[in-house]
């Protein structure tokens, strides 16, 4: 069953559709002239979007590495300078999602066993 069918069936049953696990509700909105950004949706980057970055830096949630990759994978698109000014709690949450994108699914499902 695909995601759309699940969401439609859940709505039909009167249940709330599951929220996207790759969406971050920002604790501190990012100010913009057209209206503050209160939520960021992140998608899994392709290899080309990781160019110029060391994967180990992303796995360590290095601020500079996150500032380079988040503009490439966020919706709405944020600028590097906006990432540098993000609330640390929001940046850590985004970083955790980015790290999960870099691991195989079986590794993220069993991560609690090694932590």
For 42-53, how does the pLDDT look when each residue is reduced to its tens digit (9 = 90+)?
999 999 999 999
C-alpha 24/C-alpha 22 separation (Å) is 7
Task: Note the Cα 85 to chain centre separation in Å.
Answer: 17
E runs forming strands in 1-115: 23-30, 37-42, 74-75
The domains of the chain are located at: 21-114
The pLDDT value recorded for residue 67 is 97
Quote the percentage of the chain above a pLDDT of 90.
Answer: 70
For 87-99, the DSSP string reads -HHHHHHHHHHHH
Q: Rounded to whole angstroms, how far apart are CA atoms 104 and 89?
A: 25
- What distance separates the 2 farthest-apart alpha carbons in the chain? 47
Q: What is the pTM (predicted TM-score) of this model? A: 0.75
């Amino acid at each position: 069953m695909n995601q759309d069918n699940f969401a439609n069936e859940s709505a039909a049953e009167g249940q709330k559709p599951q929220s996207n696990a790759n969406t971050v509700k920002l604790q501190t909105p990012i100010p913009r002239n057209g209206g503050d950004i209160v939520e960021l949706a992140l998608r899994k980057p392709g290899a080309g979007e990781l160019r110029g970055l060391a994967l180990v830096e992303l796995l360590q949630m290095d601020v500079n590495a996150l500032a380079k990759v988040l503009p490439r994978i966020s919706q709405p698109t944020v600028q590097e300078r906006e990432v540098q000014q993000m609330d640390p709690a929001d940046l850590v949450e985004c970083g955790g999602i980015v790290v999960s994108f870099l691991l195989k699914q079986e590794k993220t499902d069993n991560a609690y066993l090694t932590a």
